[in-house]
Amino acid sequence: MSNLNGFNANEVEPAVGFDPIPAGKYLAVITESEMKPTKSGVGKFLQLTFQILEGEFKGRLVWARLNLDNPNATTVKIARAELSAICRAVGVMAPKDSIELHNLPLVITVAHKKRQDTSEITNVIKGYARKDAAMPKVPTAGNNGKAPWKK
């Protein structure tokens, strides 16, 4: 048995399940990174946790797994290309540790994928871009000269 130190469920909103966020582009940051063993045990993947920074889904998390150590050379090539895209998006071209990629804004392109084990729909990250690439550089005439992303 564990002491719950007077926990009162009346004072805390209950947790609810999360549906996948809609496909689209989101401003996000990497908040966590960890190298983990693959299920088969013959390789390792870098798991990156991305947190959405704004909009309706602010605070939601999305994950990417990069198979950087794998017997399949094509799998490693794909993972390294994805890591290169992330590095370019955050402006850190030669990180010595994954923590150097944390808390730097970038735009992630989120899509949907059906899980093979449960057939549930889940989010998957399909692309990475610099934060400034997602916003128009020149205000449009229809906004009275204001930048379209500013209210």
Q: Which of 69, 104, 62 is nearest to 87 (CA)?
A: 104
Query: Whole-prediction pTM value?
Result: 0.79
> What would the two tokens of residue 144 be?
């009275």
Domains and CATH numbers, the chain: 24-133 (2.40.50)
> What would the two tokens of residue 133 be?
């690439």
* 125: amino acid identity, one letter: I
pLDDT tens track for 77-129: 999 999 999 999 999 999 999 999 999 999 999 999 999 899 999 999 999 99
Q: How confident is the model at residue 130 (pLDDT cuts 50, 70, 90)?
A: very high
Beta bridge partners of 129: 107
Q: How confident is the model at residue 151 (pLDDT cuts 50, 70, 90)?
A: very low
Find the helix or strand (DSSP H, E) in which 130 lies.
strand 121-130
Cα–Cα distance between 53 and 27 in angstroms, integer?
6
Specify the pLDDT at position 14. Answer: 85
pLDDT tens track for 17-49: 789 999 999 999 999 999 999 999 999 999 999
Chain position carrying tokens 């449960």: 118
Residue 9 confidence (pLDDT) above 80: yes
Q: What are phi and psi of 16, to 5 degrees?
A: -125, 155
What is the average pLDDT across 66-79? 97
